[in-house]
Structure 1
């Protein structure tokens, strides 16, 4: 079986193409072209989870079966990449896997590309001030992804480790040509910002409604399993929620589950799925606070993996 490693994935994909693939994956999901169950999560040692995510695309260039199996190590337990595993792509008959693609690299790019797609739809066109909570691979990927869709000129970062913040700032100046302000508190990091990306494995809320400016867009991608929570449930008071998939978010996002229990969100229709929007979507003139909560969909992995395989074959 052919295996495409992380270096191959990153040599083929960029965020411009990732945006297009994210839009297509969300469109397929919203149009009913995808069969995918909720993610199966198995808890291992402390801060270690295994996720299994199968999907089937019914028609078109991405038609077929795919399955992602990944072990996620969060927080201090993560020595090296936090996501390790493979995406298996099956043959046309759907009887056996023929290609395995590195899941860590795909997850890194497709997660940030999904946030960039939501940001392109929801954030102010002139948004230039970015706050990033977290300092890991997703923090770096999100900085690059935000640069692809908005004129970012100022970046602030918060993390639990001063050393990690300093490494992130040095990386940003080298790879993104952007200076970074290192902040001691979350409230300081998000003050007067236009876009916030939360990329941590927090077990208890780090971002509260009182911390926010009157208008901003938030991409909340960390803490996407029960027992982990970045956003306090009060974040959904006087804000508008958008999701990658309502059903998945209601099953896996602690902050959304608690907001429903508190009566701040409706169980039946917690948010608007981004796949139902288009580039022509126009929000109200001053939308206030918008939140994109994503937990990751198998169809994203399938679409990205099939595109990587297609481009790899074309380059032979």
Structure 2
């Protein structure tokens, strides 16, 4: 068995490549070229979750079987990975070996890259003001990926834990890529998003942090953190007032409590009002609505595409 760790992943996958791979994965999803089960979750009494995500990609460069198994800790120590596990690639041809790739680093990158791809398609081209709700690894990775698709000049951050907020702000101040960007700290989520062009919610909130009245008249939202039942970042009314896209119809309606409540309360009378981001292809919509939203819960097809790209690059450039 071959194993590719975090270092291998980071060497193989740049942010720009990860964004391109996101488009590939979402296209496979929406073109019906992947078979994948809804994520199976086993909860532990301490709040952690174990998720299992199998998939089969039927054609193309990334075709084959794979399985992601990951342990999710919604309250990791600052700087620690919230996702730990592995991605198994079962049917590689080289010597019939099974291949294992670190799931934590893949999840961290592919989640933020998916938001960046959606932002590329949906956010105003000259969006310069970014709000991030959350302070963990996803908050940091989202900040870096947003810089790859929009000319960000100002970032406002918010988090529940003041210590974590300060550590995130310090990281921003010390990161060389962020030297010319203004970083501010907000006291409340509403304050953080009040003048934002792009909003990324990457928290483990169990009740809505944002309400419709908090949003500016024009913005794009990447709703990332609430990817399992029991977690919620947005008030359901928001979904009735934005044009929204999902990574997968089946997965999001199964795992997003916010979407389910939006339907129950009449804000979304039909599940068919959701569109998959992959349906857009590489087409940037004309006459973009003032408010757009991308809801993601994470898909096995993303993990397999990213993991196989790591494998392909290491096969081409063996160390």
Q: TM-score of the superposition, structure 1-length normalised? A: 0.96
1:301 to 296, 300, 303: 303
Residue by residue over 1:88-110, the C-alpha shift from the partner in whole angstroms, topping out at 9 and shown as x without a partner, is 001247xx761100000000000
**1:134 — aligned with what?**
134
After TM superposition, the structure 1 = structure 2 runs for residues 65-214 of structure 1, keeping only pairs within 5 Å, are 65-75=65-75, 80-92=80-92, 98-175=98-175, 176-177=178-179, 178-214=181-217
Contact 2:12 2:310 survives alignment (8 Å): yes
Answering whether residue 319 of structure 2 is matched by residue 310 of structure 1, we say no
Once residues 87 and 157 of structure 1 are traced to their aligned partners in structure 2, the CA distance between those partners, rounded to angstroms, is: 32
Shift of 1:79: 8.2
Q: SS at the partner of 1:169?
A: helix
Q: SS at the partner of 1:65?
A: strand
Q: What is the aligned-residue RMSD (CA, Å)?
A: 1.8
Shift of 1:179: 3.2
**1:215 — aligned with what?**
218
Residue by residue over 1:254-281, the C-alpha shift from the partner in whole angstroms, topping out at 9 and shown as x without a partner, is 1001001111113331411010003333
Once residues 135 and 293 of structure 2 are traced to their aligned partners in structure 1, the CA distance between those partners, rounded to angstroms, is: 20
2:233 to 210, 230, 235: 230
Q: SS at the partner of 2:282?
A: coil
**2:249 — aligned with what?**
246
Q: SS at the partner of 1:302?
A: helix
Once residues 91 and 274 of structure 2 are traced to their aligned partners in structure 1, the CA distance between those partners, rounded to angstroms, is: 36
**2:286 — aligned with what?**
283
Unaligned stretches of 5+ residues in structure 2: none
Pair 1:298–1:284, CA change in 2 (3 A)? same
How many aligned residue pairs are there?
315
Contact 2:29 2:301 survives alignment (8 Å): yes
Shift of 1:315: 1.3
Contact 1:244 1:274 survives alignment (8 Å): yes
Once residues 315 and 215 of structure 2 are traced to their aligned partners in structure 1, the CA distance between those partners, rounded to angstroms, is: 47
Q: SS at the partner of 2:131?
A: strand
Once residues 14 and 89 of structure 2 are traced to their aligned partners in structure 1, the CA distance between those partners, rounded to angstroms, is: 21
Once residues 60 and 143 of structure 2 are traced to their aligned partners in structure 1, the CA distance between those partners, rounded to angstroms, is: 32
Answering whether residue 276 of structure 2 is matched by residue 273 of structure 1, we say yes
